[in-house]
Amino acid sequence: MLATRAEEGVFEVLSKTKKFPQARYEKLARAIVLEQKELPESKTVLPIVTAGTADLPVAEEAKVTAEIMGQRTELVCDVGVAGLHRLFKHLPKLQKANVIIVVAGMEGALASVVGGLVSCPVIAVPTSVGYGSCFEGLSALLTMLNSCASGVTVVNIDNGFSAAVTATLINKKIESNQKNME
């Protein structure tokens, strides 16, 4: 079970009921998680790439969502276009991925950069963080929608949940097809 966009106070009230003692609160992701049974873990790793540290709450929401669905994840943080050289050391593992989530605010350019460097789908998540004329994520959203890199698709502003569900479904489908071919 997963409750997203949950304030810590909601979790505190829930935990006082003692109905769900195994529930935990993921503060950065603002998510309440209740694992009722263990799922088989995926063979693939889903990279979740952030442009900056301000994008971490949305990336954590994606991470928690994917993991509760049995998807292994790996965060690649703070590799945005202002420090693009930091992205290159992660490029070999990104190029092996079946799908990648890219979370970026400000102008949202990182999704196009990653999309141009890999041959798998990139799910771009614009965030509402930034300064200047970011317009609460609208600037990043428009940049991502106008990406010239093929294979980039965009979810709504701050929607790490949908990005993770989509990426996990893609990975599960690929794993299932690979298993059927064996």
Q: What residues contact 78, with CB distance under 8 A and at least 6 apart?
A: 50, 51, 52, 53, 86
pLDDT, one tens digit per residue, over 127-136 is: 998 777 778 8
Q: pLDDT value at position 127? A: 96
- Same domain as 14, residue 24: yes
Q: pLDDT value at position 43? A: 86
- Same domain as 44, residue 31: no
- Same domain as 82, residue 4: no
- Same domain as 9, residue 82: no
Q: pLDDT value at position 164? A: 97
- Same domain as 83, residue 28: no
- Enclosing H/E stretch for 119: none
- Same domain as 76, residue 17: no
- Same domain as 3, residue 57: no
- Same domain as 112, residue 28: no
Q: How many domains does the chain have?
A: 2
Q: pLDDT value at position 15? A: 82
What residues of the chain score a pLDDT lower than 70? none
Residue 21 burial by Cβ neighbours in a 10 Å radius (0-12, 13-18, 19+): exposed
Full domain range(s) for residue 112: 38-181
Q: pLDDT value at position 161? A: 96
Domain holding 161: CATH number?
Answer: 3.40.50.1970
Q: pLDDT value at position 97? A: 97
Q: pLDDT value at position 17? A: 84
- Same domain as 30, residue 91: no
Q: pLDDT value at position 134? A: 79
Rounded CA separation 86/93 (Å): 14
Contact assessment for residue 57 and residue 159, using Cβ atoms and an 8 Å cutoff: no
- Same domain as 124, residue 87: yes
pLDDT, one tens digit per residue, over 84-105 is: 899 999 999 999 999 999 999 9
Q: pLDDT value at position 160? A: 97
Q: pLDDT value at position 37? A: 79
- Same domain as 169, residue 88: yes
- Same domain as 75, residue 27: no
